[in-house]
């Protein structure tokens, strides 16, 4: 088994974060999540984006809200 990503949302989290106007840093995204009651630090965001950290269902919902996208899109669906 190769080095497969443990999640499918990482690339989309990074893409959505960088497409924001202005774009969000990982630290800023962590702060947005904290306002929603979700504790993922900057290092955790980085691990999600590179695919080494799994994302729980409630985290997907919070990430989507913080990034202004739908949970379905983060999970690989269409816009």
4 belongs to a structural domain: no
Could you tell me the two tokens for 66? 């913080």
Domain that holds residue 44: 10-69
The answer to pTM > 0.85 is: yes
User: What per-residue confidence (pLDDT) applies to 35?
Assistant: 98
1 vs 75 pLDDT, higher one: 75
Hey, how many other C-beta atoms are within 10 angstroms of the C-beta on 76? 10
Q: What is the pLDDT of residues 34-66, one digit of tens each?
A: 999 999 999 999 999 999 999 999 999 999 999
- Whether 32 is in a domain gets the answer yes
**Is position 2 within any domain?**
no
Has residue 50 been placed in a domain? yes
CA terminus-to-terminus distance, the chain? 31
Q: ∠ at Cα 57 (53, 61), nearest 5°?
A: 105
Give the model's pLDDT for residue 78. Answer: 75
How many distinct structural domains can be found in the chain? 1
In a domain, 64, yes or no: yes
Domain containing residue 43: CATH number: 1.10.260.40
């Amino acid at each position: 088994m190769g080095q497969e990503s443990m999640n499918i949302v990482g690339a989309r989290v990074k893409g959505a974060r960088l497409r924001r106007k202005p774009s969000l840093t990982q630290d800023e995204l962590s702060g947005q999540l904290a306002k929603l009651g979700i504790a993922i630090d900057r290092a955790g965001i980085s691990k999600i984006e590179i695919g080494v950290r799994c994302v729980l269902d409630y985290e997907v919902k919070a990430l989507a809200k913080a990034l202004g996208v739908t949970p379905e899109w983060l999970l690989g669906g269409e816009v």
